[in-house]
Homo-oligomer: A and B are copies of this chain.
Amino acid sequence: MKERELIQCLSSMAVGAKEEALLCGIGDDCAVVRSGEGRVLLYSMDTLQEGVHFDLSWHPLKQLGRKSVTVNVSDIAAMGGRPKYFLFSLGIPPGFADARALQLSEGVVEACALYDCQLIGGDTVASPAGLSLTLTVIGEAREGQVVYRHGAQLGDIVYVSGPLGLSAAGLALFQAGEGDLAGFSRLYRAHCDPLAQVALGQRLAKSGLVNAMMDLSDGLATDLAHLCARSGLGARIFRHALPLDDECEQAAALLGRESLEWMISGGEDYALLLTAPKDAKQQLLALGEQAGQTLYPLGEMVQGAGVELVDAEGYARSVSYRGFDHFS
């Protein structure tokens, strides 16, 4: 059973009466629950597991602590909310020294301060193998401003709010043993210590210009395919529109890889993926700048289903759910 399939299965089995206050359950970045006075609460839960999501041989613990908060806060940002509280369950493997647990904790506490949210509970347990960090983040938003995955409209422009593939490139450097990260500080930071775009998410939500939004955690090809499926549309994105990054290109050259693969399939970008009507373009670009981010228009929402990547010659191929192995 693939990741998330079991949760979907659980969801379909849960046939109990749906609470009226539950505006959105499983299937978006957060669950959305009405809380009165025009406000909603947002809930997201994510686990980071050693050996699956991180490797302690290169991931500093403090940065890992920060990242565990960031990946959850990014889900709140993607709905246009602000984080308020979180709960933290830590699985500690045998022989994991107290000093290391404290370094990790310092990172968690720093991220709390950074995102202005507060640890209100949790659990620590012995883990038979591998460090495990599960967080539940609780956020808040105005009901009328929440942006879902399912709202994309035909003809909408598709944007990402930052460069793509940097985290994947950083990971590839680590995996190749390229420990000397001089000249690759952006890739290093993107992989080990990303930031959630909370301020931008809130501005976008407040603007009322955005029809659909989610965060980029599983790679553009997969995440955009989810957004398409939820919106009942397809998307066409253009290779020439994908934002190139110097460090990413240099890493690709160094490793004999193609940066395009990282940009399309690489996960953990933690930028925002959004769609908005064509006539909102200038306003949106300005709004991105005000929040210190660049919005890159990549293509548009079209009739059909799935994600197509169009190359310089106009040739389109399906990349839905990263359904390819190599680019020619």
**A interface residues (Cβ-Cβ under 8 A, vs B):** 1, 3-7, 9-11, 13-14, 16, 18-19, 22, 25-26, 30-31, 33, 35-37, 41, 43-47, 49-53, 84-85, 87-92, 98, 101-102, 105-106, 108-109, 112-113, 116, 118-130, 132, 134, 136, 138
Contacts and interface: CB of A to CB of B under 8 A. Distances in A.
A84 B19 contact: yes
Contacts of A90: 6-7
A35 to B, nearest CB: 6
Nearest to A12: B109
A311 B106 CA distance: 47
- How many subunits of this chain does the assembly comprise? 2
Interface-centre pick from A26, A92, A118 (highest chain B CB count, 10 A): A118
A295 to B, nearest CB: 28
Given A10-B105, A91-B132, A106-B13, A121 B47 contact: no
A119 B7 CA distance: 9
Contact of A118 (B18, B37, B125): B18
A47 B16 contact: no
A19 B112 CA distance: 13
A41 B3 CA distance: 30
Nearest to A37: B36
A88 B124 contact: no
Contacts of A116: 16
Given A7-B124, A13-B105, A119 B47 contact: no
B136 A11 contact: no
A44 B109 contact: no
Contact of A128 (B26, B50, B105): B50
A199 to B, nearest CB: 17
Contacts of A120: 22, 25-26, 31, 33, 43
* A88, A121, A134, most chain B CB atoms within 10 A: A121
B121 A44 contact: yes
Most buried by B among A41, A43, A85, A136: A136
A87 B30 CA distance: 11
Nearest to A4: B124
A116 B102 CA distance: 39
B47 A89 contact: yes
Given A46-B123, A127-B132, 11 more contacts: A6-B92, A22-B85, A26-B121, A30-B121, A45-B122, A47-B134, A49-B125, A89-B134, A128-B129, A129-B129, A132-B132
Given A45-B123, A45-B136, A87-B31, A14 B130 contact: no
Contacts of A128: 49-52, 129-130
A171 B44 CA distance: 34
Contacts of A49: 91, 125-128
